[in-house]
Structure 1
Amino acid sequence: MTESVTVRPARPDDAAFAVPLIQATIGHIGLALTGAATDAEAQGVMLEFFVRPGNRLSFQNVWIAERSGEALGFLLGYAGVDSEALDEPFREHLRGRNLPGNVVSEGQHGEWYVDTLAVTGAARGHGVGARLLQEAPAQATAQGLDRVGLLVEHGNRAAKLYLRQGFEVEAERVLGGHAYDHMIHRI
């Protein structure tokens, strides 16, 4: 892997690459967000949302890392202040399925929120995740924000990457019965 990794904004046609990685990364959150019983069902719902603007999982909130035209991973993020509005389409989806529309918005006001970071198995350990994380402060700064935030589930080895990239644990949060560290990177 000698060529450099580039990062570009996602397009709707990136759905087939990004959506399976999203569900593989967020797991139980994806099931709750979509009201699905299986990963395959959740991916089907996410495919519909990915191509539409104005929701948490929209291509508009995704940056794709690639090398020589091959997608290697992605960063999904947005201004924390927008979390409630970006989650509303999922609440509507759940209510339309006669399920409670209990979607807990994760992003905090004052931060640019890294919702999901994922790298393909073959690209792990080659700096792709670190390269993607470099996009977060640039997006935060462009929106007048001075910090980047994310949640990492306790025991997730990605926490080491975040610490190396300058994130610090600010607090603990519990979502859906799972414990997470809320990590912040000040710009």
Structure 2
Amino acid sequence: MAYPGHVTAPVTVRSARPTDAAFAAPLIQATIGPVGLALTGAASDGEAEHILRGFFARSVHRLSFENTWIAECAGEALGVLVAYAGSDAPALDAAYRERRRSLGLPADVASEGQPGEWYVDTLAVSEAARGQGIGARLLHEAAAQARERGLGRLGLLVEQGSRAAALYRREGFRVAGERTLGGHRYRHMVRPVS
């Protein structure tokens, strides 16, 4: 079903299933770009996307269906949220360290999440659904998840100059520092969970 271009029914958020890989993996790679290349050891976005499709259905890693939620309207998938406890980040990266080792690459994978935060690893909305509040809806879902887990803040990284930074500022995120991942500079933004 083609997305009609505007949301006319309520947007719901559900836990992802392994079968969501075909929708989620391309959006995830398009959003994380150089980080996806670094995690997978891939030489191109297409190769990384293919690898992430396979990884998506597996358990216990950062980009697993287990850490993913899908926003949808009338059964049509519109957006993806990948989130997890920041303190779990090093363990969730073990699968990528092992993949890099198997390719003969250095196994150093920079974990992104920080202890004490519910880390929004990836927030992505399909191109046709952008600008309609789907990203904000997914951030509200992330805040609810943080509250359920007793975590007092949301955290995320945003590449400098990204248009998404405006959404994050509107949603109450503030810059708390900077990080370099995959050769790119990112701002660490945080927001208290109220």
SS of the equivalent of 2:162 reads coil
> Which segments of structure 1 move beyond 3 Å, counting only runs of 4 or more?
none
Matched, 1:160 2:158: no
Q: Within the alignment, does 1:68 sit opposite 2:68 as a pair?
A: no
Partner of residue 118 from structure 2, selected from 85, 94, 112: 112
Please tell me whether residue 145 in structure 1 is matched to residue 151 in structure 2: yes
The answer for the alignment partner of 2:12 in structure 1 is: 6
Matched positions, count: 187
Deviation at 1:135, TM superposition (A): 0.9
Q: Which residue of 33, 36, 39 maps to 1:33?
A: 39
| Structure 1 Cα separation of the partners of residues 127 and 179 of structure 2 | 28
| Match 1:173 to one of 173, 179, 185 | 179
Unmatched runs of 5 consecutive residues or more in structure 1: none
Cα pair 2:37 2:45 within 8 Å, conserved: yes
> Cα distance, 1:176 vs. partner?
2.6
1:23 is aligned, of 29, 40, 55, to 29
CA–CA distance in structure 1, aligned partners of residues 50 and 179 of structure 2: 29
Which stretch shows the higher mean deviation, 127-136 or 172-181? 172-181
**AA at the equivalent of 1:22:** I
TM-score of the pair, normalised by structure 1: 0.98
Q: Distance in 2 between matches of 1:42 and 1:153?
A: 19
Q: Give the corresponding residue for 2:101.
A: 95
TM-aligned CA deviation for residue 177 of structure 1: 2.5
How well do the aligned residues superpose, as a CA RMSD in angstroms? 0.8
- 1:62-120, CA deviations, whole angstroms, 9 ceiling, x for partnerless residues? 01000000000110010000000000110001101111111100000000000000001
% identical aligned pairs: 64
SS at match of 1:134: helix
Deviation at residue 30 of structure 1 after TM alignment: 0.6
TM-score, reference length from structure 2: 0.94
Deviation at 1:38, TM superposition (A): 1.1
Shift of 1:21: 0.6
Structure 2, unaligned stretches of length 5 or more? 1-6
Residue by residue over 1:108-143, the C-alpha shift from the partner in whole angstroms, topping out at 9 and shown as x without a partner, is 000000000000110000100000111111111111
Of 55, 74, 77, which aligns to 2:83? Answer: 77
Q: C-alpha separation between the residues in 2 aligned to 1:2 and 1:55?
A: 35
1:126 equivalenced with 2:135 (yes/no):
no
Match of 1:138, SS?
helix
* Residue 181 of structure 2 corresponds to residue 182 of structure 1: no
Residues 34, 184 of structure 2: 8 Å contact kept: no
